[in-house]
């Protein structure tokens, strides 16, 4: 009989210890250590293997390795292809995370049906949360039926591997990894050990057979994918499916991609018949913009290789408390007090007794430094109650001394603004050289925040 032992594993980071602790020493989270049973098997005598029998692989010179460009598998959704870097790479393992009910299963079922309609392509959709009848009902509602789309309700990893070997599909979907378990691991499905071992088995199948596998992952209340951090390191690509519960728009964002650029973004709209692609997201984000409102500016932000124009809104009002409030939605909350300190020190705006509320309209999250100038002008516009010109777009990073620093891919940003009818672009002066300035939009180069405020608001 194998002796039963137990260990305590952190469900956030995978840290293991022999005794229970209230706080994890690794990730410093409280009440995340869960007891798991471990069967220690007797190994008997040690067996030593000679070096000749250990492995058949030998180190190779990197210059002697032959490579070839493998064709990517195109889905019927150009937005999904863009986020994946041009399509699905054979043998890749992709992890998709998102809030419950956001549309992960709907997206993958639509993609599976589109791939199944491709010649000589079969798809195996494995659901651990729904029965085959429930999946069929959802497919009927979405109108995504195909004879080459196979559906399986299974949670045992051994049976999953058996059916993959039997069907030999061209594409596999696992919904979700937290429901799959291996009998050899003595812990509950969804635990750190189960998620790690099942993902490792799926990675072996994907690499050995060349089958692209999509894995659905649950997220924690903080918004990160549940399970050990190792899970995101094991897969080839990590995608997040985001969106507000009360809005119909969904954003598919790439945060890791071994076969393409990160921070690519695809926009979808959730309708009764499923997810529909949004061809021009800039028009969607700006269609409800108020003309001539103080505190409103437009920034050209880069999401991967795609420029997106988004509205920045600010509301500055006198505080009623000793400590003024600084709130931000859709951008780093530490950036707001930093830019307000620059405006107060370098421009002379008295903001220390003002509450500040800054928001990125449309539910988009921006995290690049190029949005600094638009945020600063938006705050100054609301404080002085002077609206900026509605046909201006602003791009630039603001330094602590008040200078405007150059940003990357200025040409694509300006071209997107000109395409949507904007008349002026306020950009860093250092970005004016090295490219041909367009004729259909006026380019204004600025060196400091004072110059930017003078150009947009008529003065500081």
104 is in an annotated binding site: yes
103 is in an annotated binding site: yes
Per the annotation, does 444 bind a ligand?
Answer: no
Q: Is 85 annotated as a binding residue?
A: no
98 is in an annotated binding site: yes
Q: How many CB atoms lie within 10 A of CB 31?
A: 10
> How many CA atoms lie less than 13 Å away from 85 in the CB half-sphere?
21
Establish whether 22 is an annotated binding residue: no
DSSP state of 409: -
Distance CA 315, CA 378 (A): 9
The answer to the question of whether 167 is labelled as a binding residue is no
99 is in an annotated binding site: yes
CA distance linking residue 57 with residue 397, whole number of Å: 50
Question: Taking Cα atoms as reference points, which of 175, 195, 177 lies closest to residue 130?
Answer: 175
Binding-site annotation: residue ranges: 98-105
Binding-site annotation: residue ranges for ATP: 98-105
């Amino acid at each position: 009989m194998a002796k039963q032992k137990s260990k305590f594993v952190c469900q956030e980071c995978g840290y293991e210890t022999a005794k229970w602790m209230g706080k994890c020493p690794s990730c410093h989270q409280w009440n995340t250590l869960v007891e798991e049973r471990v069967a220690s098997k007797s190994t008997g005598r040690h067996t030593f293997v000679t070096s000749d029998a250990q492995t058949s692989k030998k180190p190779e010179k990197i210059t002697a390795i032959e490579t070839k460009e493998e064709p990517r598998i195109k889905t019927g959704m150009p937005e999904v292809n863009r986020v994946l870097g041009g399509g699905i790479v054979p043998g890749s393992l992709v992890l998709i995370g998102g809030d419950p009910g956001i549309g992960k299963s709907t997206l993958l079922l639509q993609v599976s049906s589109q791939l199944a309609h491709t010649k000589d392509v079969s798809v195996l959709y494995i659901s651990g949360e729904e029965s085959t009848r429930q999946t069929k009902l959802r497919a009927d509602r979405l109108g995504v039926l195909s004879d080459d789309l196979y559906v399986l309700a299974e949670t045992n990893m051994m049976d999953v591997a058996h059916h993959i070997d039997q069907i030999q599909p061209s594409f596999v979907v696992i919904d979700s990894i937290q429901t799959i378990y291996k009998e050899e691991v003595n812990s509950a499905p969804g635990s750190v050990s189960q998620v790690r071992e099942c993902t490792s088995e799926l990675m072996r199948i994907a690499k050995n057979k060349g089958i692209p596998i999509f894995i659905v992952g649950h997220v924690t209340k903080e918004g990160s994918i549940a399970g050990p951090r190792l899970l995101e390191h094991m897969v080839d690509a990590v995608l997040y499916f985001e969106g507000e519960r009360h809005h119909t728009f969904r954003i598919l964002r790439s945060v890791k991609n071994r076969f393409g650029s990160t921070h690519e973004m695809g926009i979808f709209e959730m309708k009764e018949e499923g997810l529909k692609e949004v061809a021009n997201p800039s028009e969607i984000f700006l269609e409800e913009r108020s003309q001539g409102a103080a505190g409103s500016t437009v920034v050209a932000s880069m999401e991967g290789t795609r420029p997106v124009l988004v509205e920045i809104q600010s509301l500055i009002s006198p505080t009623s408390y000793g400590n003024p409030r600084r709130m931000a939605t859709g951008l780093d909350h530490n950036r707001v007090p930093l830019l307000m300190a620059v405006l107060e020190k370098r421009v002379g705006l008295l903001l220390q007794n003002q509450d500040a509320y800054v928001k990125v309209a449309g539910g988009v999250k921006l995290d690049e430094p190029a949005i600094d100038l638009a945020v600063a002008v938006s705050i100054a516009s609301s404080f002085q109650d002077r609206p900026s010109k509605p046909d201006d777009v602003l791009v630039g990073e603001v330094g602590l001394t008040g200078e405007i620093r150059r940003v990357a891919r200025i040409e694509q940003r300006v071209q997107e603004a000109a395409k949507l009818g904007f008349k002026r672009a306020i950009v860093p002066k250092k970005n004016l050289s090295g490219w041909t300035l367009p004729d259909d939009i006026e380019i204004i180069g600025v060196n400091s925040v004072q110059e930017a405020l003078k150009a947009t608001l008529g003065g500081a």
